Structure 1
Amino acid sequence: MGKAQETRYSSPLRYPGGKGKVANFIKLLMLENSLIGCDYVEPYAGGASVALSLLFEDYINHAYINDINNGVYCFWRLTLEDPNSLCQRIMSVPLTMDEWRRQKLVHSSESSAPEDLAFATFYLNRTNRSGIVSGGVIGGIEQSGTWKLDARFNREALCARVNKIAKFSARITVSKLDAAEMIESNLVQGDVRRLLYLDPPYFVKGEGLYDNFYAFEDHQKIRDAISKTPGPWVVSYDASPEILQLYSQHNPLCYTLSYSASKASKGTEVMFFSPNLAIPQVASPAGISVVDVARAKSAATLF
């Protein structure tokens, strides 16, 4: 894997939709609203790709990443607290169907130790199609596909990501709260300088992509909690009619995003923003290049 590709991906985890594609837009948003150096809160961390990108480039002071999924939570705890142990496993684990089946059993067992659950979550995320832990293995059970289960398991590159994240451990706090509970906590409600970014489970097809998917009432609960937040916030969704109606009081920014789950496709997504935010004028939040960010950053230093 070349250096350009290494720097493109911050997270060791893979997720449908790829929040990392909007990381550069969030940087533009922070520049335009003088938010550089603030704290950042992500209640649906998943792969935490946006948080990591912002942290690595010093856009934020501290990242609060949260995920109610126990396997994901345990993975981030292990990454920050014992990266050497995690990397030893990454470098030595067999990439075979027998091991894949064993890791599935570890992941589904309620008696698995936190470090074993963490690694099983990571292993299945890297060897399953589109990173869906509950999904099917890359290449199929017979391993007859063009790509096999090791196609997304570059050991050296993954360890490099883990070790880089671990160097920032003092500036990362991991939690396992219900997202609404986190939004309503003093962490978010008590500081208007904390940027909140939410990427809740998709309204459409969420049940097939996430272990913790939402009913309509859950989406309403998040909308209500966000509406009470005094500080800046951004929320992204699949642009279903139900979500557009739910957030009808906020101006939508719709854009197209490429998906890889099950088969390559494109979908329309939408972002909503807190009323106090100036929104960068762009064609698509997913189409911002490194050059675009550099120009905006250079312009910001002139004022």
Structure 2
Amino acid sequence: MKTDASGLVHHKKPLISPLRYPGGKSSLYPRLRSIVRENGLTSGTYVEPYAGGAGAAMGLLVTGQVDSVVINDFDPAIYAFWKLVVQAPDELSRMIGSAELSVSEWIRQKEIYLTAERDNYIDLGFAVFYLNRTNRSGVLNGGPIGGMNQSGNYKIDARFNKEALIERIRLIALHASRVTVLNMDGIDVIDRYSKDREVLIYADPPYFEKAGSLYLNSFADAHHSALASCLNSVKKARWLLTYDNVPRVAELYSKRRREVFSLNYSAHRVVKATEVMVYSDSLLVSDSKAS
């Protein structure tokens, strides 16, 4: 067990999500597990309105910390992937096992990603997965690991361990009946679940700085403001929010408790970022150093 300067305790985190996600929050699993337990939500539902890689959600679900999870992503391609995981895990595992790891196949999957019908969740979902596992830092609009000529130190298959990835799919599939996958605006998801006292909402929206390089769907200031208006208005809901630590967050959430913490993430290189966690008034967080 290790404690960083922010006072957040880090235990070994379960790595369940099949996706690599810049800025992913699977490392917050211990913190979220503690909050779930303290608020008596082990029989409740954990909701991620901006799921992305859903690392924390999958960790909490598979280790039995919550009864069910809701993962939502406005990006239809990310939604297609999670729908594929939950509804056709055997097909996904077969596709992983037979996948050709080459630049020519990367080009083919890139074309599928760009042109597939949005409701073709099997082909689109696998294309998302393939690019995520073979692109630098998992960024979908990036290039392949090792470059197009495969002259880099690492090759296109460096992050595509078929056996390990199939095992992650198998683990999630065991709990698939307790996973709800949505393709909605995040604010609409918050509105839908905010009245349920057996729900914990964890909002991890696109950040203010460098959002364009990390997310396919970045936020304008109006989006950040609308999210703040939504969260600040759901008085009885139990929610928490993470952002990059910029002055605008303090302005939008001036009446809420906030806590600064450090987190490592990868987008071309490992970076230690200073971020901020915001808590709803009704959320119990006894070990918080929030102000």
TM-score normalised according to structure 2 size: 0.91
Provide the rounded CA distance (Å) in 2 between the counterparts of 1:8 and 1:29.
17
1:124 maps to which residue?
Answer: 131
**In structure 1, what residue type is equivalent to 2:228?**
R
Q: What secondary structure sits across from 2:257 in the alignment?
A: coil
**In structure 1, what residue type is equivalent to 2:41?**
L
Provide the rounded CA distance (Å) in 2 between the counterparts of 1:25 and 1:247.
21
Q: Report matched runs for 1:100-119 at 5 Å.
A: 100-111=106-117, 113-119=120-126
2:230 maps to which residue?
Answer: 225
2:186 maps to which residue?
Answer: 179
Provide the rounded CA distance (Å) in 2 between the counterparts of 1:114 and 1:53.
24
Q: Report matched runs for 1:218-257 at 5 Å.
A: 218-229=223-234, 230-257=236-263
Deviations 1:29-70 (A, max 9, x none): 122222221111111111111111111122211111111111
1:192 equivalent to 2:197? Answer yes
Q: CA deviation at 1:278?
A: 2.3
Q: What secondary structure sits across from 1:184 in the alignment?
A: helix
Q: What secondary structure sits across from 2:180 in the alignment?
A: strand
Work out whether residues 116 and 123 of structure 2, in 8 Å CA contact, stay in contact via their aligned partners in 1.
no
2:7 maps to which residue?
Answer: none
Q: What secondary structure sits across from 1:13 in the alignment?
A: coil
Q: CA deviation at 1:246?
A: 1.7
Deviations 1:243-289 (A, max 9, x none): 222222212111111122122221101100001122242689xxxxx
1:275 equivalent to 2:281? Answer yes
Q: Report matched runs for 1:1-303 at 5 Å.
A: 8-111=14-117, 113-185=120-192, 188-229=193-234, 230-281=236-287
Between stretches 165-174 and 108-117, larger displacement belongs to: 108-117
Deviations 1:94-146 (A, max 9, x none): 10001111111100004373211000000001111111111122112221111
TM-score normalised according to structure 1 size: 0.87
Provide the rounded CA distance (Å) in 2 between the counterparts of 1:66 and 1:35.
20
Provide the rounded CA distance (Å) in 2 between the counterparts of 1:143 and 1:13.
22
Structure 2 residue runs without a partner (length 5+): 1-11
**In structure 2, what residue type is equivalent to 1:214?**
F
Deviations 1:206-263 (A, max 9, x none): 1111111100110111111111222200101111122222222212111111122122
Q: What secondary structure sits across from 1:252 in the alignment?
A: strand
Provide the rounded CA distance (Å) in 1 between the counterparts of 2:15 and 2:63.
13
Work out whether residues 37 and 58 of structure 1, in 8 Å CA contact, stay in contact via their aligned partners in 2.
no
1:296 maps to which residue?
Answer: none
**In structure 1, what residue type is equivalent to 2:165?**
L
Work out whether residues 38 and 194 of structure 1, in 8 Å CA contact, stay in contact via their aligned partners in 2.
yes
Provide the rounded CA distance (Å) in 2 between the counterparts of 1:211 and 1:46.
10
Provide the rounded CA distance (Å) in 1 between the counterparts of 2:250 and 2:288.
20
Runs of 4+ in 1 over 3 A off after TM superposition: none
Provide the rounded CA distance (Å) in 1 between the counterparts of 2:117 and 2:77.
13
Q: CA deviation at 1:7?
A: 7.6
1:294 maps to which residue?
Answer: none
